[in-house]
Structure 1
Amino acid sequence: PKDVTFQSHLQNEVRPFIELIDSLRVLGIDKDLNLPSIAVVGDQSSGKSSVLEAISGVALPRGSGIVTRCPLELKLRKKQGQWEGKISYKDHSETFYDPSQVETQDVLAGNGVGICHELISLEISSSEVCDLTLIDLPGITRVPVKGQPDDIGDQIRSLILKYITKDETINLVVVPCNVDIATTEALRMAQEVDPHGTILTKPDLIDRGAEGDVLKIVQGKVIPLSKGYIIVRCRGQQDINDKISLSEAMQIEKDFFRKHRCFSSLLDEDKATTECLARKLTVDLVAHIKVRYVLMVHNYISTQP
């Protein structure tokens, strides 16, 4: 089929560039140079983790409050054969072969509620994912919960800015459809440092009659962005309670948009579904790597003794 041929061609083009950046990170070059990456940011409970689990096929930890409390580098590698995961942090590395064993968030942040700046790397090799690297950052919050320092909001903001202010970073903002997009802290922060694209989540929670307003946002008629918007519908808590798998959720998502009276046109425009998002992120990251690579290597060589 045409789509399969396209995906195969995309994978063959993408893999060398993703592996190049991975190799430079292994060599430690990222300590001297900022390497191209995609940073994922969003207000607390925006649906950010749901988007990442839909793309990765791994159910990341969920819950109230700050679930993601340290940066998580999520490396997805398309590979035939058995599913494999590898988690690395500091001097520790562990490989496992069951997606349910992914428990990353408390490894460095501990059992408390504070923020940790240490990076966790989670690499997933599977035939069901695309070649892509994302950095998941803690959700933005303003009010500290019990046990958190009063300046927790400032701590999170400082950590996020550390990543999204880099020229080499593509900033991906996750915003719920059922809030006023203009008031979201995540989009405001990203706009300050040149945003590239935004994901709109939770379209199933939109009040009836407000669909037209959301459609205008996705079409770039409210707040234009250079790489535009994509709208997705991920698993909700009820879906998880009903034990709906990630693959089932993706089919439900496609059916949702296909049958929706206002959003069905977005499928033809490539502005809806998690599958479309993953494909666009991959293309954008490779294009970014191509643009930055020559300058990056030239600058690095010129700084060496």
Structure 2
Amino acid sequence: MNEKIQPGLGNQTHLNKIDKLRELNVKSLELPQLVVVGDQSSGKGSVLESLTGFSFPQDPGLCTRYATQISCCREAEQSVVVTIIPRAGADAATVDRLRSFRRTIPELTDDIFKKIITDANQAMGIRMSEHDTDSNLQTFSQHVLKVKINGPQQQHFTVINVPGIFRVPSLPFTTDNDVSLVRNMVEFYMQNSRTIIFAVLPCNVDISTQEILKMAETADSDGIRTMGVLTKPDLVTEHVTQAEVKDLVLGKRNQLRLGYYIVKNRSADDKESTISDRLAKERAFFAESTWNALLVSGRCGIESLRPRLSDLLMTISKREFPNVKADVARRLDQCRSELERIGPSRKDHNSQRMYLGRLGSKFQGITQCALNGYYDSESVFANDPSHKRHVTPTWTNDGEDEYNVEDTEDNQAYFDVVLEKHPELHDILDSEDYECPKPTPFKDDPTAEHIERVYHENRGPELGTFSGAILAVTFKEQSEKWEPLVLAHVSKSIMLVHDYISRIIETVCPDKQVREQLWEVLIIDKLRKAYTRAMEHARFLLQIERSGRPSTYNHYFNSEVQKKQMDRLEAIIERQPKTYGKAGNTYASTLNLRSLVGDKNNMQQVCEDILDVLSSYYKVSRKRFVDVICRQVIGHFLLEGDESPLRIFSPELIMGLDTEKLEMIAGEDSETKNRRAMLESEVKSLEVAMKLLKG
């Protein structure tokens, strides 16, 4: 055990970095590695001893109960350093305790190393005999024992040994759970796409029935990273079995791209021989007539196997090094992003208030950009555009703009989804959709007959005029579509605002538990009140505009009345016979015009006046009403007013919360605390890894 060996050469810079990364034990990071797997008693320990110079103690209570990383490193001073790498995800106290375990000795002797292994087992909580009845102890562990063998003659070589798989538990020392635990541990190492699977198989059993090969085939279906190592050839006496073993080594029955090697183990009774003695005995064994046909293959003995393994480890490390670096960078970004979404620790009320206050500030910042149309300033608008309809203006003959809404079916489908997603809106909104048909022009509408009927039913003692009641009745009838149109429009505006608020809160607060409590406990009732105010104000404006006495101070009204009167006169003139003068001018008879304009009865004159006044007032009222709905209901009550729903979730709201509500909304559960601690630990390890990879 004291004799120095010469492992195969490798790229020491890359391999050193890979070993240091392995010490960090980042669970999400797959590293290039060589892992020795096999059944218990398959000869793994003897092969490893020949490869590394490190031998495992043979006591049953000290055999492999965890993964062991054995590294041979060229160093100026000769030493053996034994440490423990805590399993990924271990709590901070366990990590600190295990990382403090360190034993350094100038050289290995059986007695000293047996004592070190005993200490390491105790540190990891390993049950070392059936008499250990402490329920906190375990037979196997997911921690990793690292044995680093340094010396001026060493060449870099690292191999990981995992516990041998077994099928039958030895109660009470091992149980069915231990059988599954070891199998899962072996599968975990084998599934790493950057692992060379070093499968140790005894020659004196049927190779085709070896479970470890079936497990390797599952992990490495193409057989491109599995190497078979055949042990105990001296126990094979049947010629048929010997021939099958030779065929495997010579590649005649080989399904593994890396092929099979064959080595001779030292016997169980050989306690004193040196490694040089064993290598000499191995050479002599394969020189015998039974096995000498394999010598030409270059796949016999430790002296052939060691440089091949070193070359494989160097090759996969160099090839995968850039990929490992990219994986570290990608995982670091993922962890940092998730930590940012979870937010800082919220152990007390001050931190809870600060956390929610930041969310409120972020919400208000995004919303102000949306209100101002600064869509380039926040990534949320690029990642999740909020506009749902596209409008294109067209122009009528009188210079007024109308908007044609495209994709009406898609718009309605969107509002149906919003209403289904947010049932809290059902009792507030006018959920019945209303599509207002295009108005019929006055000239094509039988409005005159209707006005005449209303005049008969409501006329008073007026002479040559009409009462305001007639105009009120006709205007209310003429504007009967306003109510469903306005209530539908305000309802859809509320749905848009509500959906926006919901989606932005989901963006700024990814913590589902906090978001749900924030929504249900703090925000939803205030939103409902704000929406109710908007709907009530819309109904108030409808009542004022449609049920009150028509009135206006807008001079545009008189201009419209006079314009319509002039339009009627021009129409009469156009229908009269014309007299053509020498210059091409046309003349109408004054006598004819007088008779047409003046020969009207009271009913006809009053109805024409009512029609002119009604159409003129309708136009004035419509412009005014559209403005107040847009400015007051939409602009003030829904968007920019101090009590608008967009102003509710703000730092000011959070400052007014009592401690009970703070705890209810922002208090952390154990799952969130554990997740943050795990992410913080992983980020710390990944940052060290990235620094190491860049160095």
- Range class of TM-score, shorter chain: 0.7 to 0.9
Q: Does the 8 A contact of 2:73 with 2:151 survive in 1?
A: yes
Q: What does 1:102-181 correspond to in 2, within 5 Å?
A: 102-103=113-114, 105-106=117-118, 107=121, 108=124, 109-112=126-129, 114-126=139-151, 129-147=154-172, 148-181=174-207
**Equivalent residue for 1:55, pick from 40, 51, 57:** 51
Q: Which amino acid aligns with 1:138?
A: P
Q: What does 1:95-106 correspond to in 2, within 5 Å?
A: 95-100=104-109, 101-103=112-114, 105-106=117-118
Q: Does the 8 A contact of 1:77 with 1:125 survive in 2?
A: yes
Q: Are 2:301 and 1:273 aligned?
A: yes
Q: Does the 8 A contact of 2:31 with 2:194 survive in 1?
A: yes
Q: Which amino acid aligns with 2:158?
A: T
RMSD: 2.3
- Indicate the residue corresponding to 1:36 in structure 2: 32
**Do the aligned partners of residues 66 and 111 (structure 1) sit closer, same or farther apart at CA in structure 2, a change above 3 Å counting?**
closer
Q: In structure 2, the residue corresponding to 1:239 is in which secondary structure?
A: coil
Count of paired positions: 292
**Equivalent residue for 1:254, pick from 259, 273, 283:** 283
The unaligned stretches of length 5 or more in structure 1 are 1-6
Structure 1 Cα separation of the partners of residues 235 and 152 of structure 2: 32
**Equivalent residue for 2:65, pick from 57, 66, 69:** 69
Q: Does the 8 A contact of 2:62 with 2:117 survive in 1?
A: no
Q: Does the 8 A contact of 1:77 with 1:131 survive in 2?
A: yes
Task: Please give the TM-score of this superposition, normalised by the length of structure 2.
Answer: 0.40
Q: What does 1:200-211 correspond to in 2, within 5 Å?
A: 200-209=230-239, 210-211=241-242
Q: Are 2:255 and 1:224 aligned?
A: yes
Q: Does the 8 A contact of 2:56 with 2:63 survive in 1?
A: no
Structure 2 Cα separation of the partners of residues 60 and 19 of structure 1: 24
- The CA deviation at 1:42 is 0.4
Structure 1 Cα separation of the partners of residues 177 and 75 of structure 2: 43
Q: Which amino acid aligns with 1:102?
A: F
Q: Give 1 or 2 for the bigger CA radius of gyration.
A: 2
Q: Does the 8 A contact of 1:234 with 1:250 survive in 2?
A: no
Q: Does the 8 A contact of 1:41 with 1:138 survive in 2?
A: yes
- Indicate the residue corresponding to 2:12 in structure 1: 15
Structure 2 Cα separation of the partners of residues 127 and 211 of structure 1: 41
Structure 2 Cα separation of the partners of residues 191 and 293 of structure 1: 25
Q: Which amino acid aligns with 2:257?
A: S
Structure 1 Cα separation of the partners of residues 152 and 247 of structure 2: 36
Q: Does the 8 A contact of 2:39 with 2:166 survive in 1?
A: yes
The one of the two structures with greater contact order (alpha-carbon pairs below 8 A, sep at least 6) is: 1
Q: Which amino acid aligns with 1:253?
A: E
- The CA deviation at 1:105 is 4.9
Please state which structure has a larger fraction of its residues in strand: 1
- The CA deviation at 1:66 is 8.5
Q: Which amino acid aligns with 1:72?
A: T
Q: Does the 8 A contact of 1:130 with 1:278 survive in 2?
A: no
Task: Please give the TM-score of this superposition, normalised by the length of structure 1.
Answer: 0.88
- Indicate the residue corresponding to 1:302 in structure 2: 330
**Do the aligned partners of residues 221 and 151 (structure 1) sit closer, same or farther apart at CA in structure 2, a change above 3 Å counting?**
farther
- Indicate the residue corresponding to 1:25 in structure 2: 22
Q: Does the 8 A contact of 2:250 with 2:297 survive in 1?
A: no
- The CA deviation at 1:265 is 3.4
Structure 1 Cα separation of the partners of residues 264 and 152 of structure 2: 22
Structure 2 Cα separation of the partners of residues 57 and 163 of structure 1: 23
Structure 2 Cα separation of the partners of residues 50 and 129 of structure 1: 19
Q: Deviations over 1:198-241 (max 9, x none)?
A: 1000111111423212101212323420101110012111222x
The unaligned stretches of length 5 or more in structure 2 are 1-5, 85-97, 131-138, 334-695
- Farther-moved stretch of structure 1 (154-163 vs 13-22): 13-22
